[in-house]
Amino acid sequence: MSSFQDLISGETPVLVDFFAEWCGPCKMMAPALQAFAQEQAGKLKVIKVDVDKNPAAAAQFQISGVPTLILFHQGKMLWRKSGALPLHLLNQEILPQLPV
């Protein structure tokens, strides 16, 4: 099993969705995030981290509200935003951050 650090340290950019099962905005954003992941398949990976089940990861990145999205490439944070985003904003905000 890979560690969280291993997951975010590869060549492929990784968008991490810090969420909670009880979070309404997280549930509202889930379909947009799923569509984004499908559209960007091969260009980036999307992983979901439940803050209640992974408090160490949440603490490491100082997650104070969910949903919080963080884009990593080779272990470095490229972009971060808290709050639910619709699909067009995911595209608009994240795609320019991706390495070419």
Angstrom distance (rounded) from CA 46 to CA 36: 9
Q: Are 49 and 57 in contact (CB under 8 A)?
A: yes
Rounded to two decimals, the pTM is 0.94
Residue with tokens 């985003």: 85
In order of their start, the domains of the chain are 4-95 (3.40.30.10)
- Whether the pLDDT of residue 1 is over 80: the answer is no
Q: Measured in Å, how far apart are the chain's first and last C-alpha atoms?
A: 29
Q: Show the tokens assigned to 50.
A: 């439940």
Q: What average pLDDT does the segment 20-46 reach? A: 96
Residue 96 three-state SS:
helix
Length of the chain: 100
* Residue, of 61 and 3, whose pLDDT is higher: 61
Catalytic site positions: 23, 26
